[in-house]
Amino acid sequence: MSTISLRLPDSLHEEIRKLAERENVSINQLATLAIAEKVAALEAAEYLLQRVSRADRKKFLRAMSKVADTAPDKQDAL
């Protein structure tokens, strides 16, 4: 486990303190969760960019041509 020192504006620190209290977690837990969520979002975006770079429109259209052209089930209709 690592320790970091972080400088925050007083107003942001106060908001984080209030949120942590409201969520019944420590400031450390709240900050760790927020960082983990941000890292996950950035990694997901990078993964999707890698996937889209391999996209092939012809293969997509060929796969879509195999999908039955039927109306959706009643519970799936918009």
Mean pLDDT of the chain: 95
| Domain assignment of residue 48, yes or no | yes
| Domain assignment of residue 76, yes or no | no
pLDDT over 90 at 77, yes or no = no
**Structural domain of 56:** 10-65
| Domain assignment of residue 2, yes or no | no
Q: pLDDT-based confidence at 78, cuts 50/70/90?
A: confident
Per-residue pLDDT reduced to its tens digit, 31-47: 999 999 999 999 999 99
| Domain assignment of residue 55, yes or no | yes
Domain count, the chain: 1
Nearest-CA neighbor of 17 among 5, 26, 4, 9? 26
| Domain assignment of residue 51, yes or no | yes
| Domain assignment of residue 31, yes or no | yes
Side-chain half-sphere of 75: how many Cα atoms within 13 Å? Answer: 0
